[in-house]
Structure 1
């Protein structure tokens, strides 16, 4: 038996009863150089989306000064963008399945280009908010369509690796925004910095037009001939099949904790809760984000060769992560000391990195490649909805005068609960 056949048989027996074996009638795409080229251009769009998403944090002080707003209103902007992202996940999945990734990515690029340009030239805070909403709109439709291109262009065994590399590219986009954008803001200035970002995004639009195609069998822009599945049936597919259910539980469990910290509460927790200096806290958050980037592609490559490891790995990791957050909230006398807290944050950061490797790979089980848009969007929404709820809940608890241990009870509850659902889904018997 070939290595590929053995891996598929192993996964069919151990991990899922429907890992697309016998589900897709069309032959698997061959992958190859053209697939990597198409994905490379598409993932460049995701890189830019994450660059723009993180741009507000880099320009926070300049934003306050330029628009004469306080910290309270400033903090609304990233949360508003995240809410737009969550609300548009299912529509993004519908566009991916009905319109195709190429056209949807072009729409997203147009929205981001206009949004960044508007933010650069905004005469008041209202226009700036409108610009951030447009950026959020473009951001919301990007990741799902890059993932769908991976499903359409690469063989099944490569999906975990390509999903992991997609997530890693997004992380690099976040990191890359800090140096260039900060230098541009302090050099040429606000307008030049953001108009330059808009120009780069417009150039990426031309690359997508020239290179990206929905189908490996056609020229750029050609879509397959499959009839789209009704929205109700697509959503039902996500909730009725075991693979997508495991993907939703996994994404909520392992992606949300560190995303909540990175969006808002990580730095304040390390300074006010743990007692690190501001410089040390900033260095720790940067190191955690950059130092775990290698985990996702490594795991994705391993899963592609031995898909049977997904279930035990996900079980052990979710259990360790849950135990870490329980430790944070029950530690006597206040938050744990710095070494313990940083250990939990390191595991959480690793979880955010590996989430694409496994969450969307689970979601592919039993779902044909041409119907992955809505399924992937529901999985993505599960993690980001959990993030929004936990982030807002922590803010309300802190506003009421409580400490970080109580503020982190919601994220601990969601992590433990989602982990329990994941383990139940993965190990239920019989599979079906």
Structure 2
């Protein structure tokens, strides 16, 4: 005790560290909210791919040739790719509910404009609006998964999101074709514009950004655009997701979007019916892999590293077989195996790519990271699809035309391996 009798000064205790944020509970309400969100994604994929069923009618209605008509899906896809990062920023700033609402308004308006378009210019404007709405949907369904489900469920929900999108793509042709024949051009597209508005009502009634009250805005304040992009690129997880998506998504997507049918018919010698059936059966037959893998990865995140590198190595080897087969294209059984491996890679992409991107960032700021990952896959797909067309136009065969997609898969796979294996895992593969 001091001589003057005063109590010694006591240093103030250091504040206790803030507890880590509680994980979302998941449960029935989370599945219900996500279910409405993924139904929007189903509808977006329906609008994105349904034009194939209306191609002949569009050519007659707008009095244009195939070259001009091809601008409609290409511009829509270009809008989708270019807007991935901006829509990711929007998702992080205003939340999934507002973003999905704006996307549905854009899609409904675009489909209505396409229904009433008097000429090709208005039709192009309509498809651009559909592309604007489409660009918003996937990222925000993924954000709902991050905000409503515990981390261990994220890979599964991401995988299921991809599966529902694939079903939307596959289901687009028959209903639109039936409506076109039964109701005519204007009636069919106005019908699907009205369905889109009904989906908008469901989003407003059911979807909320997160369970419970909004978190303290100071915990994860919104960032400026360039700062948010730099934060995502600086984190290890988004870089892994970008490399993985660029490696595994383009091969089968390139075939499905444009070159699979000509490759099988003109290159390998399949009949038209057999080529179409093979692409459909292979694409649908591997969908079950994704949710099973997502559930497994959620329980054992450490398997992501060997699984991702093994898949990419197998995919690159399969396409090297195609482009290096002596004396021309490989026989049909080998081509079928390559198609199956490629299709499996494309459906596995959401389960791993977006799960990687979730690492190292708070759930409130995953929109930009998911946008970068999505953009890497789609941009690579556009590049290799156009490159294949240039090679074929110049007189090269399919082996030469598929060199670009083989090269991008191998290079992106090598980058992924470097990123995955150059540093030790932290807490279950950097979770």
Give how far 1:23 is off: 12
Gaps of 5+ in 1: 1-21
| 1:107-153 per-position Cα deviation (integer Å, ceiling 9, x unaligned) | 00000001111111111111111111111110011100110111001
Q: Residue in 2 aligned with 1:99? A: 94
TM-score of the pair, normalised by structure 2: 0.92
Q: Residue in 2 aligned with 1:129? A: 124
What is the distance in 2 between the residues matched to 1:193 and 1:419? 44
Q: Residue in 2 aligned with 1:200? A: 195
Q: Are 1:215 and 1:224, in contact at CA under 8 Å, matched by a contact in 2?
A: no
RMSD of aligned residue pairs (Cα, Å): 1.6
| 1:55-100 per-position Cα deviation (integer Å, ceiling 9, x unaligned) | 1112111111211221112222222111111100001100100111
Q: Residue in 2 aligned with 1:5? A: none
What is the distance in 2 between the residues matched to 1:254 and 1:336? 21
What is the distance in 1 between the residues matched to 2:149 and 2:72? 37
Q: Does 2:323 correspond to 1:326?
A: no
Gaps of 5+ in 2: 1-16, 427-431
Mark the structure with the bigger radius of gyration: 2
Q: Does 2:184 correspond to 1:189?
A: yes
More deviation, 67-76/266-275: 67-76
Give how far 1:194 is off: 1.0
| 1:383-429 per-position Cα deviation (integer Å, ceiling 9, x unaligned) | 00100111111111111111111111111110000011111111113
Q: Are 1:53 and 1:139, in contact at CA under 8 Å, matched by a contact in 2?
A: yes
Instruction: Label 1:368 to 1:23 Cα distance change in 2 as closer, same or farther (>3 A).
Output: farther
Q: Residue in 2 aligned with 1:114? A: 109
Structure 1 stretches of at least 4 aligned residues deviating more than 3 Å after TM superposition? 22-25, 429-432
What is the distance in 2 between the residues matched to 1:343 and 1:243? 31
Q: Are 1:148 and 1:373, in contact at CA under 8 Å, matched by a contact in 2?
A: yes
What is the distance in 2 between the residues matched to 1:389 and 1:80? 14
Identify the structure with bigger relative contact order (alpha carbons < 8 Å, sequence gap 6+).
Answer: 1
Q: Are 1:165 and 1:297, in contact at CA under 8 Å, matched by a contact in 2?
A: yes
- SS, match of residue 366 in structure 2: helix
Q: Are 1:215 and 1:223, in contact at CA under 8 Å, matched by a contact in 2?
A: no
Instruction: Label 1:224 to 1:331 Cα distance change in 2 as closer, same or farther (>3 A).
Output: farther
Instruction: Label 1:37 to 1:112 Cα distance change in 2 as closer, same or farther (>3 A).
Output: same
Spell out the pairing of 1:185-334 with structure 2 (5 A cutoff). 185-218=180-213, 225=217, 226-334=220-328
Give how far 1:163 is off: 0.3
Q: Residue in 2 aligned with 1:151? A: 146
1:370 counterpart (364, 385, 391): 364
Q: Are 1:111 and 1:137, in contact at CA under 8 Å, matched by a contact in 2?
A: yes
1:162 counterpart (151, 157, 160): 157
- SS, match of residue 171 in structure 2: helix
Give how far 1:233 is off: 2.5
TM-score of the pair, normalised by structure 1: 0.92
More deviation, 231-240/121-130: 231-240
Give how far 1:431 is off: 5.7
Give how far 1:204 is off: 0.3
